[in-house]
Amino acid sequence: MDRLSKLLRHPRILQTLPDEERSYVLARVKFRLAFRSDLLALEWDGEFAHFRRLYAEAYRYTELGQAVIWVAELVDAGLIGQLFVHLKSDRRELADGRTSAYIYGFRIRPAYQSKGIGTKLLQITENDLVQKGFKFVNLNVGQDNNRARQLYERLGYRVIGTDPGRWSYYDQHGRRQDVNEPAWRLQKEL
């Protein structure tokens, strides 16, 4: 195993890598659609276990052609990124199944952030939506999440409104969880 392959097993060291080694890391990331067998790994060692039912439901929608789940996978490290897309949802203003799609659950594991992986994951998602004939992509970003908002704006997303960000889900124990995350609504014309 070469030196960089060993480094990939120690994410803390990645924070200090110079640019050319970051490019090497990025080149070793595989972007692909999620398999059913990825569902547990999407929980990231338990951190997102509370979304277990949401992930399973999203996967069922992929089987119906109404959603897409993208993952970023790194040799030796497993899944390090995820991004969910609703192609068609009950909230037609977000995803109408034909012209507009909705991105959510976009995250890169902290040790692998700021290396261009999120940008590439988003671009791959957008290219796929263009291929599918979609014209607009919508997403919500927390009003306190300036860094993510800047990333989106750099990639051509514009604020088109706000969203109260109130929603509920059932966690892995079947308990209802209420979320309150006031958000900006962003949109990009593809």
Ligand X SMILES: CC(C)(COP(=O)(O)OP(=O)(O)OC[C@H]1O[C@@H](n2cnc3c(N)ncnc32)[C@H](O)[C@@H]1OP(=O)(O)O)[C@@H](O)C(=O)NCCC(=O)NCCS
Q: How far is the CB of 77 from ligand X (least distance, A)?
A: 14
Q: Which residues contact 117 (CB under 8 A, 6 or more apart)?
A: 26, 29, 72, 80, 81, 108
Which residue number, 36 or 125, has a Cβ lying nearer to ligand X? 125
Q: What is the DSSP letter of 65?
A: T
Nearest approach, Cβ of residue 56 and ligand X (Å): 21
Task: Provide, rounded to whole angstroms, the least separation between the CB of residue 125 and ligand X.
Answer: 12
Q: Which is nearer to ligand X, 98 or 150 (CB)?
A: 150
| CB of 38 or CB of 63, closer to ligand X | 38
C-beta of 45 vs 173, nearer to ligand X = 45
Q: How far is the CB of 108 from ligand X (least distance, A)?
A: 4
From the list 57-65, 84-92, 100-108, 129-137, the region that binds ligand X by CB under 6 A is: 100-108
Cα separation of 46 and 170, whole Å?
16
x-or-dash pattern for ligand X, window 111-140, by CB under 6 A?
--xxxxxxx---------------------
Look at residues 187, 189, 77, 87 and name the one whose alpha carbon lies nearest to residue 141.
187
Q: How many CA atoms lie within 13 A of 71 on its CB side?
A: 21
Place of tokens 């209420």: 178
Binding mask 135-174 for ligand X (x = CB under 6 A): ------x---x-xx-xx-----------------------
Size of the site for ligand X (CB under 6 A): 18
Find out whether 163 and 182 touch, Cβ atoms under 8 Å: yes
State the Cα–Cα distance between residues 112 and 82, nearest whole angstrom: 12
Element (H, E) at 131: helix 117-131
30 part of the interface to ligand X, by CB under 6 A: no
d(CA 117, CA 111): 11
Binding site for ligand X (CB under 6 A): 19, 22, 106-108, 113-119, 141, 145, 147-148, 150-151
